[in-house]
Every structure is written in C-alpha cells, then in structure tokens.
Amino acid sequence: MKWLGLLAFFIFFEAHSDINVERHDFQFEYGFTYHTLVGTQKNNNSKGRLTSPQYPFWSAAYAYRFSQNYAIRFSGGISFVRFDEPEESEATLKSENKVLNHYEVELIRKTGAYSKFGIFFRQQAHPLYFAKTPTEFEVVENSFYESGIHLSLSQRRRIGLIWGLGVKGYLLFPTEGGDIVTEAGYGGDAYARLGWIGPLGTTYQLKGFYLYSSAPNAEVTFSHEQLGYSFLINLTF
C-alpha cells in the first residue's frame, strides 16, 4: 500500500508540474539594424533611396500560457535610426534622425511538438521619405496599425542547444491622416534563432532577422526594409 501511495504522489506531482511549467516567459532583446528606405511621390514622380548605418534597438516581451496549447504575448520596443544623405543627390536631407516604436499583442496556439500559430496586432512607426521642395528632402515618421499571422518552428528542451525559425505576414493601415497621405499596404518578417538553455530555465540566443513593409497604393509610396541581429535572454518559469 505504501508504494501505491508513493506512486500516486509522483503521478500527481508530475501532472502539477506539467500544468505550471513555462507558464510565464519574460524576454529581453538588444540588437542592431540596418534600414533601407525608398520613397516615390506620385504627383511629381520623384523617387529616392536612403540607407542607414547600424543603429541599436531594445525590446521586451511577456508571454502568459493560460492553457496547455494557448498563450498570449505582449511586446514593445524602441529603435534609433539616422539616414545618410544620398551621395548622388545635391539636395539637402531634413529630419534624418528618427526614433521608431512598436507595440504588439499576439494570441498563440501550439499546433504541434515544434510548431506554433499566432494571430497578432501591433502598432509600429515607419519612416517615409519625400521631396519637400526641389532642393530639399525630408524623412517623416508615420504610425501604422499592422495585423497578420505568425508561423513558427522551435525546439524546446530542459537544457542544451535550441533553435527557432519564424515568418510573419501582415496588412498595414495608417493610424491617421496628414500632409503625407498613405493608404493600406503589406509587410512580412522572417527570423532565425540559435541558442542555449541553462538548468535554471534561462535561455540565451542569437537572432538574425529581416523585415519589409510597403504601402504601394499611396500618394507617397514607401518601402521600408530592416536587416539586423540581436541577443535575447528569456526567463521562463
């Protein structure tokens, strides 16, 4: 009878652990990005291209798993960018320094041992590039709503080497009008992660990523590309 009681205790203990393991996940990220910005004005058919050196960004996220297969994730971040003036142009570039923010909420469903599916909504700032006068160009910052899906593959272990891959696709809409009018557009993200998880549930990863956003049906058509890398720390319990 004693061994039956002991067996029942361990069965109950294991089930309790499965319910509570990885319920909370805090993530901190620091990295660098390169930005490429292309702008076209339909009224005068002017077009320009700007690039930036690498600039830093910070982001943080919190995910809460409220059932065996479902979780909700909140995230936000800030990045800095300074665009260089095109060498082939004699025009002056105004407002080349920008601070870009983003905020996101995502509902995640576990679809397999390695796969997840998410639906997300975020607000993200993008820079726009246009000709203010024939001899002066300007970069402005516009905020957009973005909504789409997120597909990911990742390995989860108690300890050892881990990896992850993911893609996002979304539609974007301007949050408000103004002198520079843009309409609905589209975008996508892709990333890869590789790292190590320690015995205390702390994960260290290196990440490479690429983001593309565009509003092709706009008074000012823009495309914004980001190519970067970062270091991530996750605390999971």
Res 64: pLDDT:
96
Kindly give, in sequence order, each residue whose CB lies less than 8 Å from that of residue 106, ignoring residues fewer than 6 positions away: 72, 73, 75, 118, 119, 120, 121, 150
pLDDT tens, residue by residue, 15-32: 333 334 578 999 999 999
Domain ranges of the chain: 23-236
Res 68: pLDDT:
87
Read off φ and ψ for residue 215, nearest 5 degrees: -125, 90
Res 89: pLDDT:
60
Res 10: pLDDT:
40
CATH architecture of the domain covering 23-236:
Beta Barrel (2.40)
Taking every pair of Cα atoms in the chain, the longest distance, rounded to a whole number of angstroms, is: 91
Res 88: pLDDT:
59
- The amino acid that residue 126 corresponds to is H
- Mean pLDDT (10-residue bins), the chain, 237 residues: 47 39 89 92 76 94 94 97 74 79 96 94 90 75 93 84 96 76 87 91 94 85 94 93
Kindly give, in sequence order, each residue whose CB lies less than 8 Å from that of residue 142, ignoring residues fewer than 6 positions away: 125, 126, 127, 128, 174, 175, 178, 180, 182
